[in-house]
Amino acid sequence: MQSLLNKKIVLGISGGIAAYKTPELARLLMQEGASVQVIMTDAAQQFVTPVTMQALTGNPVYTSQWDNSISNNMAHIELSRAADAIVIVPGSADLMAKLSLGLADDLLSTLCLARDCPLLIAPAMNKQMWEHAATQRSVERLSKDGVTLLGPASGFQACGEVGMGRMLEPSEIAEQVIAFFQKKTLLGKKVLITAGPTFEAIDPVRGITNHSSGKMGFAIARAALEAGAQVHLIAGPCHLPTPLEVTGLITRTNVVSAKEMHAATLAASDCDIFFAVAAVADWGIAKPAKEKIKRNGKEVPNIEFVANPDILLDVAKTAKTKGGKPHPYCVGFAAESTNLEKHADEKRKRKGIPMIVGNIGPDTFGSDLNQLLVIDAGGSKKIAKAEKLQLARQLIGLVAKKI
Ligand code: C5P
């Protein structure tokens, strides 16, 4: 799936050492289907060459406003009119100050002033430069003017210092550009998600768990963030990176057992939508051993199970009605081996939730692909086989309409 198909992006490169990361960014944007038109300032060419960027993007690189290869000699107008967005990477303190004042003395700054498309900037500079009152004034002015700032992050800087001003990684910038273009159907909404398996300890080294990679839940978290929501992701043991972490719009709580997941979820259940995607172990161990249970010939241990709390059921019980709709709007998931629609709908009614999503097997566990059957009181709707992120975006679209 390409998330930037048919998007035309002007990639503006200004003069900063982080410019060395722009070839990788251009490739990532193109892999997602975007066409990339590079514009470079004079200083940018000290760090990366137009030849590199032209070879990678397949498009001529523009560096001067006096370029007569553009038929009407108005590169600053022509290039921005064709663009869906201008993305400036890295955004130097100097360029940001210029743009915040509306100065236009080279091709990139003139193009930004003459644009009729969104402008995104990924700042990159030394921490003192970032913290300087003048730069902070630029940031404030640019934000007021509707410019989207991507980062910066805090960390090791090329100059050897550590602090705020480090540019986001190309993959993080690409993810945010993709997010920028998604429909903002959940703007201002709070979304709670459980994801991954739970692990029930038998002793300090053994335990039982469920099959679940966490990919579907994490994809829903990313899609909800892309739609403008604030997300709380409660994750069982899985090794997936937190989606769009640098936006600061996601909180992640890691848990191990179903009991821990239950407590963390109930504590965070003041939300607009709850997606229960986790594969929660139905039974926990009554008395987990404090020490490793020793093997004793052919003897097998007798393990007593206890029922785990049903997290989804308990959140659904707290739901109130807001504007005639259940609040939070609870969405359950069901993996069934037979009769998916019938069993999933029974589960939906038993748990008292408005929507349940059936995983249409058989290759759902750990796979990047899935097929879904979305069931509510009005009937069912199939979402055809696709990457989990694509399914998650469609599901978010459906749920957004319900609330
Ligand atoms: O009852 P069953 O496990 O089949 O239901 C699956 C749905 O319920 C999923 O949405 C799952 O996340 C949720 N669930 C839960 N707590 C449990 C068991 C399941 O939240 N203890």
pLDDT in tens, 260-313: 999 999 999 999 999 999 999 999 999 999 999 999 888 999 999 999 999 999
Q: Give yes or no: 159 in active site.
A: yes
Q: Which atom of ligand 1 is nearest to the CA of 277?
A: 12
**Is the pLDDT assigned to residue 161 strictly greater than 90?**
no
Catalytic residue among 159, 238, 271, 330: 159
Name residue 49's amino acid: T
Ligand 1, residues at Cβ distance < 6 Å = 194, 258, 276-278, 280, 308, 310-312, 332-334, 347
Lowest average pLDDT, out of 111-120, 205-214, 318-327, 375-384, goes to 318-327
pLDDT of residue 204: 96
* pTM beyond 0.75: yes
Query: 129: left (phi > 0), else alpha (psi -120 to 50), else beta?
Result: alpha
**Which domains are delineated in the chain?**
8-181 (3.40.50.1950), 190-402 (3.40.50.10300)
Q: Among 275, 311, 312, 347, say which to mutate for ligand 1: greatest number of ligand atoms within 8 Å of CB.
A: 312
Q: For residues 139-154, give the mean pLDDT.
A: 97
**How does DSSP assign 169-232, residue by residue?**
PHHHHHHHHHHHTS--TTTT-EEEEEESB-EEESSSS-EEE----SHHHHHHHHHHHHTT-EEE
200: its two tokens: 């029930």
The DSSP element (H or E) to which 131 belongs, if any, is: helix 127-131
pLDDT in tens, 195-241: 999 999 999 999 999 989 999 999 999 999 999 999 999 999 999 99
Average pLDDT, the chain: 94
pLDDT in tens, 338-371: 899 999 999 999 999 999 999 886 555 678 888 9
CB neighbour list of residue 116: distance below 8 Å, 6 or more residues apart: 80, 81
Token pair 């058989």 is found at 362
Compute the distance between CA of residue 120 and CA of residue 87 in angstroms, rounded to an integer. 5
Report the separation in Å between the CA atom of 278 and the middle of ligand 1, taken as the mean of its atom positions.
7
